[in-house]
């Protein structure tokens, strides 16, 4: 009681001190409120984006990749493109690759492992368009972005980046029909039976030939997108006595061209993919009467998927669906691209369209080095 009396006595004797004290306290409160508003703004942004890091330009992300076709050069390059784009972005700390041969059950297990490892996004080349939907939904609940590349998934939560496979078949078919003068016998060498990309390419090719009633498909094969078996099939057809005036292939190429020399047959127009060895053949065989065209189906789509994932994580709201339109390269119209992308140091099956504008930011050298960011 005595102390309270003394306090009142001191306060009562110095009103100026009380005013000064109150002003100081008000200044501190105002400063504190200003700090709270600033932290609350960034905190709100972080809360809304979860692990996406939207609003935090200094955050680096961890990307996962799920692939179910091991030992395939196109898929390996796809993964290299993810790594190269991650490195070039400066926004990724690590790329975790899950590789296993298998179907949807194996891929679901692999994606769950990636989720558990703490990735911020998963780039997946799906084994099935529908079966992965539950695990994609699970990733979404964890604020993990999922980008399906090459083939589409039906999960509404996923971003989808595809090459237009129907256009691949149609554009190549149109080029071949014109090169054949609108008539003659053609061989259709497809990929893997039942795979959506093969079905779409076949539909596009068939649609193109409807405009040319003078062209007849005399032989259809399935190469399983394997070069040696495809070359053997082409050789058997050329040696069978069947009149062949043109060949359309769903992805394999240089072994089919080699079959003409082995069979000692004159070249006919051939449509293939943009693989490295075939670009060399177009350069070298032009003087021998060879006519060929490469239709692009870039493995660099992996880099596009990585770019979409990074943009999503940064809150840039990329389109949910991105479709890459194929290009047709031949020596008459695209010599500059053929010269730019052919590289004798690369494997024959290397997918040659290494850069996909405006998406990928890496250089050709970065893609070929296949180096991702270090953890």
| Helical spans, DSSP H, in the chain | 2-13, 15-49, 73-89, 104-116, 133-141, 165-179, 196-209, 227-239, 254-263, 276-285, 301-313, 335-341, 364-369
Average pLDDT over residues 192-199: 87
pLDDT at position 197 is 87
Domains of the chain as residue ranges with CATH: 61-164+299-325+351-369 (3.40.50.2300), 165-295 (3.40.50.2300)
pLDDT at position 276 is 96
- DSSP-derived 3-state class of residue 292: strand
Nearest Cα neighbor of 235 from 251, 247, 218 is 247
Rounded to whole angstroms, how far apart are CA atoms 328 and 318?
27
Q: Does position 273 have pLDDT exceeding 70, yes or no?
A: yes
pLDDT at position 139 is 98
Stated pTM of the model = 0.79
**Predicted confidence band of residue 87 (pLDDT cuts 50, 70, 90):** very high
The DSSP symbol for 119 reads -
**Predicted confidence band of residue 57 (pLDDT cuts 50, 70, 90):** low
User: Would you say 361 and 84 are in contact if contact means Cβ atoms under 8 Å apart?
Assistant: no
Paired residues of 50 in beta bridges:
none
Nearest Cα neighbor of 260 from 279, 283, 277, 285 is 285
């Amino acid at each position: 009681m005595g102390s309270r009396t003394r306090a009142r006595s001191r306060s009562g004797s110095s009103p100026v001190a009380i005013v000064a004290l109150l002003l100081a306290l008000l200044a501190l409160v105002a400063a504190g409120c200003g700090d709270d508003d600033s932290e609350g703004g960034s905190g709100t942004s972080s809360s809304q984006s979860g692990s996406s890091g939207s609003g935090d330009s200094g955050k680096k992300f961890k990307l996962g990749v799920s692939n179910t076709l091991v030992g395939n050069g196109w898929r390996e390059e796809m993964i290299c493109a993810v790594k190269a784009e991650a490195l070039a972005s400066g926004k990724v700390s690590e790329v975790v690759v899950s590789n296993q041969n298998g179907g949807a059950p194996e891929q679901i297990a692999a994606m769950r492992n990636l989720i558990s490892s703490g990735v911020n996004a998963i780039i997946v080349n799906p084994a099935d368009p529908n079966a992965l939907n539950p695990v994609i939904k699970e990733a979404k609940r964890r604020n993990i972005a999922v980008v399906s590349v090459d083939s589409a998934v039906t999960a509404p939560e996923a971003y989808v980046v595809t090459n237009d496979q129907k256009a691949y078949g149609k554009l190549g078919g149109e080029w071949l029909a014109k090169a054949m003068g609108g008539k003659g016998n053609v061989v259709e060498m497809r990929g893997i039976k039942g795979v959506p990309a093969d079905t779409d390419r076949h539909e596009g090719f068939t649609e193109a030939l409807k405009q040319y009633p003078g062209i007849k498909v005399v032989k259809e094969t399935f190469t399983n997108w394997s070069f040696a078996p495809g070359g053997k099939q082409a050789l058997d057809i050329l040696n069978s006595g069947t009149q062949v005036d043109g060949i359309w292939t769903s992805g394999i190429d240089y072994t089919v061209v080699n079959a003409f020399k082995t069979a000692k047959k004159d070249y006919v127009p051939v449509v293939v993919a943009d693989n490295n060895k075939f670009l060399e053949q177009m350069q070298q065989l032009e003087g021998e009467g060879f006519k060929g065209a490469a239709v692009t189906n870039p493995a660099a789509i992996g880099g596009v998927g990585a770019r979409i994932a990074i943009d999503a994580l940064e809150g840039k709201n990329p389109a949910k669906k991105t479709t890459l339109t194929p290009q047709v390269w031949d020596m008459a119209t695209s010599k500059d691209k053929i010269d730019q992308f052919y590289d004798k140091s690369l494997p024959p099956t290397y997918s040659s369209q290494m850069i996909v504008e405006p998406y990928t930011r890496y250089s050709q050298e970065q893609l070929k080095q296949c180096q991702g960011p270090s953890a």
